[in-house]
Amino acid sequence: MVMTDRADGMPYAHGRPLPGGASTPVIIATIFPEDGTTGVHTHFRQLRSFIEPQGIKVSVNTPFSWGRVLTYPVFAPRLALKHVHPPASVLWYRHWHELFLYRALRRDLARIGNCVIYAQGPLEAKAALRARTGPGQRVVMAVHFRTSQADEHAEPGRELRRDSALFRAIRETERDVILRLDGIVYVAKWAQDALTGWLPEAASVPSIIVANFVDPLPAREGQALVGDVVTTGRLDDRKNHRFLLEVLAEAKKAGHRLTLDIFGEGPQRKDLERRIAQLDLDGQVNLRGYRRDVRDFLPRYRVYAHAAYGEVSPLAVIEALAAGLPVLAPGIGPIAEIYDDGIEGRFWPLDNPAKASEILLEMLGSEQTRLKAATAAQERFHRDYDASVLGPRLMSFLLGISPASAAY
């Protein structure tokens, strides 16, 4: 993990040590509701569960923390605008969510002294910079997005065109916000490269690369296996579950009737059900729905499969490593940083289900090979993604203290 600090080794808060050090409270700012199932939620929950036992007060501020009664009539028109004028829905969402979060932060920061506001994106950082009362209230932003939030809205089938005024306006807002931050947390080297690729000046902001992390799973000896392949994630286009169905269909053609359990819920459920029937995979593929305790089920499968087109630091893959599962995933973007091809799993192509099927069958065809990869996966997790390893690094950066002086 790479940490960037002042040349003289001192912690920074506008170039000065942050008063309070390890006793400084942390306010997590997010435009999402506090409870949710996204990777962003897991990121700040894991941080909170690590630092609160250190005696650090942690709170979460969202747009719903202020004027909750007003949020429904104010936020709801965005859904109608999405069908009538998609760019307007983006503008509506960004304006009102940032405004409500700003008011929630302004209320709380007015009565809190020195603190750290850990913003989970550029909108949250904008609200925090507007609301803070002085330099003793340090604003650090996590980069969970790919390149820019404008780019995410401009993906195929999404709301914006890359040549639109709103696309440019979002990027200009991010430029202004990012260059005024006290720190940036990148959850992958890929995310840092993507941001500084269009905004080179961001390299001047103190930063750290800390991958997403989770707590290890408790040891469970003698668990019986319940299936071959497992995957988790929201049932939407970007998670690309249809590819996994094609892979299983190819394996079936080769005479191997493998099972696949998909944990998650979303708008693509009906489409996936139809595709399962079309490929004659009934009885092999099970849509298990959303489960909060899904990580407890992972060790009961033989391999974890991932087919998403693009993510910043997929927690699902990290959870699979924690469960001691070999991983099959595309070696693209940040995934190539998480594990090594041929060690903890294999990389497979998303444009060739037949080739991917061969890779899957090779992994499952030799129990010795599978168990070797499973052992390597768990070792990689404990070395690189265990909360006890990464938690101290992230906490030290947020609080502006050197890791050596932090008491854990």
Q: What is the pLDDT of residue 49?
A: 94
Q: Do 241 and 107 belong to one domain? A: no
What is the token pair recorded at 392?
């101290």
The verdict on 59 and 171 lying in the same domain is yes
Q: Is residue 154 part of a domain?
A: yes
CATH classification of the domain holding 376: 3.40.50.2000
Residues 242 and 360 in one domain: yes
248 and 175 in a single domain? The answer is: no
Query: Does residue 278 sit in helix, strand or coil?
Result: helix
Is 222 inside a domain boundary? no
For residues 123 and 260, state if they share a domain. Answer: no
Same domain, 175 and 198: yes
Residues 297 and 345 in one domain: yes
Give residue 59's pLDDT. 96
pLDDT band at 22 (very low <50, low <70, confident <90, very high): low
**What is the sign, positive or negative, of the torsion defined by CA atoms of 290, 296, 298, 302?**
negative
Q: What is the reported pLDDT for 323?
A: 96
Residue 263: inside a domain, yes or no? yes
Compute the average pLDDT of residues 255-278: 96
Confidence (pLDDT) at 401: 65
What pLDDT does 187 receive? 94
Percent of the chain surpassing pLDDT 70: 92
Q: Are 282 and 206 within one domain?
A: no
The answer, yes or no, to whether residue 14 has pLDDT greater than 60, is no
Band of residue 48 on the pLDDT scale cut at 50, 70, 90: very high
Q: What pLDDT does 67 receive?
A: 83
The single-letter DSSP state of residue 66 is S
Task: Let me know if residue 275 belongs to a domain.
Answer: yes
What pLDDT band is residue 5 in, cutting at 50, 70 and 90?
Answer: very low
Taking the mean position of all CA atoms in its chain, how far away is CA 327?
A: 18
| Choice between 68 and 195, residue whose per-residue pLDDT is larger | 195
Per the CB < 8 A criterion, the answer to whether 126 and 103 are in contact is no
Across the chain, what does the average pLDDT equal? Answer: 90
How many residues would you count in the chain? 408
Predicted confidence band at 314 (pLDDT cuts at 50, 70, 90)? confident
Predicted local confidence at residue 37, as pLDDT: 83
Residue at 28 is within a domain: yes
Q: Which residues contact 264 (CB under 8 A, 6 or more apart)?
A: 232, 233, 234, 235, 239, 288, 289, 290
Claim to verify: residue 144 and residue 256 sit in the same structural domain: no
| Both tokens assigned to 180 | 């005024």
Cβ contact 370:326 at 8 Å: yes
Note the pTM of the prediction, 2 decimals: 0.88
Give how many domains the chain has, as a whole number.
2
136 with 283, same domain: the answer is no
Taking alpha carbons only, the member of 325, 324, 348, 323 closest to residue 336 is 348
Amino acid at 118: Y
Residue 12 pLDDT > 70: no
pLDDT score recorded for residue 123: 97
Q: What's the pLDDT at 375?
A: 97
DSSP states along 193-210: HHHHHH-GGGGGS-EEE-
Q: What is the pLDDT of residue 310?
A: 74
Domain span holding position 197: 21-214+387-405
pLDDT band at 156 (very low <50, low <70, confident <90, very high): confident
Q: Is residue 9 in a domain?
A: no
The residue that leads in pLDDT, 105 or 236, is 105
